[in-house]
Amino acid sequence: MDETNILQHLHQASLGERFLIERVDIQGELKRRLLDLGFVPGAVIEVLKASPLGDPISYRVAGTVIALRQEESQLIWGKVMPS
Amino acid sequence: MRTYTIALAGNPNTGKSTLFNALTGLKQHTGNWSGKTVSLASGYYEYKNSRFRFIDLPGTYSLFSNSADEEVARDYIVFEKPDVTLLVLDSTALERSLNLALQVLEMTDRVIVCLNLMDEAKKKGIKVDAGKLAQKLGVPVIPISARNNEGLDTLSEQLLLMCTGSIRTTPYRMKYNERLEEEIAKLETELKLIVGDEYPARWLAIRLLDGDRKLIDTLKQKLAASDRGGMIYGAAKALGSTNR
Amino acid sequence: MEQLKRLEALTGSIPADQVDDVRESIVGELFKKSRELCAEAVTVTDRERLYRSERLDRIFTSKLWGFPIMLAMLGVIFYLTIAGANVPSSMLSSFFGWIEGYLTAAFEAVHAPDWLHGILILGLFRGTAWVISVMLPPMAIFFPVFALLENYGYLPRVAFNLDRLFKKSGAHGKQSLTMAMGFGCNAAAIMSTRIIESPRERMLAILTNNFVPCNGRWPTLILLASLFMAAGFSGGVQTLVTASVVMGMVLLGIVVTLTVSWTLSKTALKGVPSHYTLELPPYRKPKILNTILRATLDKTIYVLRRAVIVAAPAGVLTWILANIYIGDTSILLHFVQFLDPFAKALGLDGFILMAFIIGLPANEIVLPILLMGYLATGSLTEVENMFALKQIFVDQGWTWLTALNMMLFSLLHYPCGTTLFNIWKETKSFKWTFLSFAIPTAIAILVTFIVAQAARALGWV
């Protein structure tokens, strides 16, 4: 999987950055839930705000705001978009 | 007086329960987090000598039976066949709402879409072109604000027109990638022979490809029940036609 | 049957191993189309206004201000509740006293026997009236204010702020939402734990929900805090001190919740927190009048119903127990004397423990039962005057330690009967229902014991 070397995971993106999802590296129920919320390949999401204790982090996705813990955001791969 | 059944479907937090309360006057607390409506609430509403029976389906993000809520909502729309499925969309988060809407349009053509929270959208500087959406989706699209009782008359009128058969819809059907479409087409032909016009064959084909075991089980039960009970009109016709 | 066979053959022909991929492309295409439709039909005229919610989040979930704001909100709600409930409470109390006068006169006029008057007026009527006058006003203030916050969309932010703590203790982030429900009613909160999908974390939420003081325990906490902790102050400061003490109790409840969750996660309910997603819906200005009216009405009906269903029979039962004698002591007193040595070790007394035991069906009747027990006649006096009430306690040898430990016991002890029943219904397990009774009870006994012994050893009482 060379691809992984080029791609970053979502947790690496900084606050305020826009991120293009290419791969959701999760199986089963959580994957289905994330897909339903708009974390789909091809979607551009924006990193909004960290919780006061640093984790979780909120993201703007499909016109809504969803918070994910680090464990999940590390499994969503893609690229930070140039601003 | 004729009674028509209307199923309310939508994402959590789109004001679906608020609309339900506004129309039926039933008391029900609407909370600001998902998953609050667990069971099916129903209520009545009279309009121009007709009675609408509203069923408040659980608020869901999709209808893929990831959870019990989704299964309940999905089964109701497909198997109970309400006269109209009323889709409540959040005008302020249309992208995610439309994801659900497109799924419902695959299941039934008796759909009316209402764009709720129009007041919020206006406040946030979001303009939604309802006419354009109606044209693209092929079903009526009505802007409303349930909590301010705005647009409910137009909505009632459209509901009545659809119930009495005065509105014909041409719902937009999703096109998937080539590989998927090929497989869908194959399955759809087969399924059409099995269920006829009783259930949406294309949608069933997609669900089958998606490995939706629970749906298949429910479908089997329905088929077995109608087998015992006599016949499914459409299916009997379809089967008859293959024998020729 | 033909159809079934065909369907069977058809489903058998579909490979099951690529299901997630199929789903990914289906949902991917659905969202692509949704984006397309949005691009055509939606225009955003003002980006600034669109992201107002997110700017508010920068304050409400800020590193610096997130927690202080949360505490301040909680404090303000308590302050409003305590400050606002006093006057209506005593008005209701005098109102019921006034009615009682007429009822008693009516009983005398028809020469009703004393025992009938005792059961119906001194037991049933006073018990019910007490619960209504003490509970209704604070609940009718607390819940509308709480509902405003809820409808504004603040609660998910609380879950967002606190998530890390719950994760560390092995619990689900949505547990803070079910805890918020617990402020209203633990029994209802047990049902609301359905929003937590993972069975392990749901069980944690069920087992610890009781550490959030409910509807039925607020009045006890508020009353004891104002009579004993804030007695040395007057006016606004007194309310402030009361509110702070009650808030301290709530915070302690949260600490205990996290500790118990953590311990269970390491022992009986081993496991790592499951995945989850939390939506932060936009802030919405609530329909203020509508929300207040609805919440007030809902709560009023709820309190009145509980008063009639639980408080009334408990009042009757207590009166009977206090007025049937074995030898020269009433059944109630026999029971109290039996409990007394143990209760004393916990810094309580036999009457208090008896009230908690008879009060198992509902927390709101604990204080009325206690008062009935204290008064020789076995019935309640009118409590128009708070000093009179405190005098009753002091006459029974109460100190600040008694009050503190009764508050602690109330906060930490076993859930009420309705809650236990719901836990059984939801878990269908005798073992877990029993544990949800045993864990809090053991903690309540342990904490009150340690506090009592420490305070006595240090010579504070």
pLDDT at position C236, please?
81
> Which residue would you say has higher pLDDT here, C391 or B236?
C391
Task: Tell me the per-residue pLDDT of C195-223, one tens digit each, with 9 for 90 and over.
Answer: 887 889 999 999 999 999 988 898 889 88
Chains in touch with A (3+ beta-carbon pairs under 8 Å) read B, C
Which residue in chain B has the smallest CA separation from A28?
A: B66
C3–chain A Cβ distance below 8 A for any pair: no
Residues β-bridged to residue A9: A77
Chain B hits for C2, CB-CB cut-off 8 Å, are 239
Chain A hits for B35, CB-CB cut-off 8 Å, are none
Contact call for residues B95 and C35 (beta carbons, < 8 A) = yes
**Do C160 and A60 lie within an 8 Å CB cutoff?**
no
Domain range for A8 is 3-81
ipTM of the complex: 0.91
C155–chain B Cβ distance below 8 A for any pair: yes
pLDDT at position C386, please?
65
User: What is the percentage of chain B residues whose pLDDT exceeds 70?
Assistant: 86
pLDDT at position B227, please?
65
Contact call for residues C224 and C406 (beta carbons, < 8 A) = yes
Mutation site, B64, B66, B90, interface A, largest A CB count within 10 A? B66
Contact call for residues C370 and C356 (beta carbons, < 8 A) = no
**Mean of the per-residue pLDDT values of chain C:** 88
- Tally the C-alpha atoms within 13 A of residue B105's C-alpha that lie toward its C-beta: 25
Chain A with chain B: Cβ pairs closer than 8 A: 26
Mutation site, C60, C279, C290, C296, interface B, largest B CB count within 10 A? C279
| Surface of C (247-306) touching A: CB under 8 A | 273, 275-282
pLDDT at position C348, please?
95
Tokens standing for residue C316: 């009757």
B92–chain A Cβ distance below 8 A for any pair: yes
Cα separation, C457 vs C461, whole angstroms: 9
Chain B with chain C: Cβ pairs closer than 8 A: 147
pLDDT at position B232, please?
47
**Do A36 and C31 lie within an 8 Å CB cutoff?**
no
Contact call for residues C132 and C89 (beta carbons, < 8 A) = no
Chains in touch with C (3+ beta-carbon pairs under 8 Å) read A, B
Average pLDDT rounded to a whole number, residues C111-119? 88
Pairing, β B2-10 against β B84-90: parallel
Burial B206-228 (b: 16+ CB within 10 A, else e): bbbbbbbeebbebbeebbeebee
Task: Tell me the per-residue pLDDT of C329-346, one tens digit each, with 9 for 90 and over.
Answer: 889 999 999 999 999 999
**Do C58 and A55 lie within an 8 Å CB cutoff?**
no
Look up residue B145 and give its DSSP letter: B
- Tally the C-alpha atoms within 13 A of residue B50's C-alpha that lie toward its C-beta: 18
C19–chain B Cβ distance below 8 A for any pair: yes
Q: How confident is the model at residue C16 (pLDDT cuts 50, 70, 90)?
A: low
Chain A residues with at least one Cβ partner in B under 8 Å: 29, 32-33, 36-38, 62-64
Chain A hits for B120, CB-CB cut-off 8 Å, are none
- The CATH number of the domain where A60 resides is what? 2.30.30.90
| pLDDT at position C419 over 90 | yes
Helices (H) then strands (E): counts for chain A:
3, 6
pLDDT at position B36, please?
39
A68: nearest CB among C32, C54, C277: C277
Q: Which H or E run contains B144?
A: none
pLDDT at position B34, please?
37
| Surface of C (159-188) touching B: CB under 8 A | 177
Task: Tell me the per-residue pLDDT of B142-189, one tens digit each, with 9 for 90 and over.
Answer: 999 998 899 999 999 999 999 999 988 999 999 998 888 998 998 898
B61: nearest CB among A29, A37, A63: A37
SS3 A72: helix
* Bond preceding residue A56 cis, omega within 30 of 0: yes
A66: nearest CB among C38, C61, C279: C279
Tokens standing for residue C427: 């878990």
**Do C277 and A37 lie within an 8 Å CB cutoff?**
yes
Chain C hits for A42, CB-CB cut-off 8 Å, are 28, 31-32
- Mean pLDDT per 10-residue segment, chain A (83 residues): 70 93 86 91 94 93 92 92 82
Contact call for residues C288 and C155 (beta carbons, < 8 A) = no
**Do B93 and A36 lie within an 8 Å CB cutoff?**
no
Q: How confident is the model at residue C384 (pLDDT cuts 50, 70, 90)?
A: low
Task: Tell me the per-residue pLDDT of C144-193, one tens digit each, with 9 for 90 and over.
Answer: 988 898 889 899 999 999 999 998 999 988 899 899 889 888 988 998 88
| pLDDT at position C413 over 80 | yes
pLDDT at position C211, please?
96
DSSP C32-60: HHHHHHHHHHEEES-HHHHTHHHHHHHHH
pLDDT at position A67, please?
94
Chain A hits for B213, CB-CB cut-off 8 Å, are none
Pairing, β C325-326 against β C277-279: unpaired
Chain A hits for C278, CB-CB cut-off 8 Å, are 56, 66-67
What are the strands of the beta sheet with A76-80, ordered from one edge?
A8-9, A76-80, A18-24, A44-50, A57-61, A64-68, C277-279
Contact call for residues A76 and A21 (beta carbons, < 8 A) = yes
Q: How many domains does chain A have?
A: 1
Q: Which residues contact C73 (CB under 8 A, 6 or more apart)?
A: C149, C154
Cα separation, C322 vs C309, whole angstroms: 21
| Surface of C (21-50) touching A: CB under 8 A | 23-24, 27-28, 31-32, 34-35, 38
SS3 B231: coil
> Which residue would you say has higher pLDDT here, C83 or C50?
C83
pLDDT at position C184, please?
82
Mutation site, C32, C58, C275, interface A, largest A CB count within 10 A? C275
Chain A hits for C161, CB-CB cut-off 8 Å, are 51-53
> Which residue would you say has higher pLDDT here, B84 or C20?
B84
**Do B32 and C284 lie within an 8 Å CB cutoff?**
yes
| Surface of C (377-436) touching B: CB under 8 A | none
Phi/psi at A58 (5° precision): -95, 145
Q: How confident is the model at residue C32 (pLDDT cuts 50, 70, 90)?
A: very high
C55–chain B Cβ distance below 8 A for any pair: no
**Do B96 and A37 lie within an 8 Å CB cutoff?**
yes
A35: nearest CB among C24, C53, C279: C24
Chain A residues with at least one Cβ partner in C under 8 Å: 24, 26-28, 30-38, 40-43, 48-56, 58, 60, 62-69, 71-72
pLDDT at position C18, please?
67
Alpha-carbon distance values, A49 to B17, C54, C68 (Å): 30, 8, 18
SS3 B44: strand
pLDDT at position B26, please?
56
Chain A hits for C279, CB-CB cut-off 8 Å, are 37, 64-67
Contact call for residues A76 and A43 (beta carbons, < 8 A) = no
Residue C193: name the closest of C433, C422, C430, C456 by CA: C422
Task: Tell me the per-residue pLDDT of C228-278, one tens digit each, with 9 for 90 and over.
Answer: 988 888 778 888 999 999 999 999 999 999 999 999 999 988 877 777 788
- Amino acid at residue number B96: R
pLDDT 10s per residue in chain B (244 long)?
A: 789 999 999 998 888 888 998 888 754 444 333 333 446 778 888 888 899 989 889 889 999 867 778 888 998 999 889 999 999 999 998 999 999 999 999 999 999 999 999 998 998 889 999 999 999 999 999 999 998 899 999 999 999 999 999 988 999 999 998 888 998 998 898 888 888 888 899 999 998 888 888 888 888 888 887 766 544 444 444 444 333 3
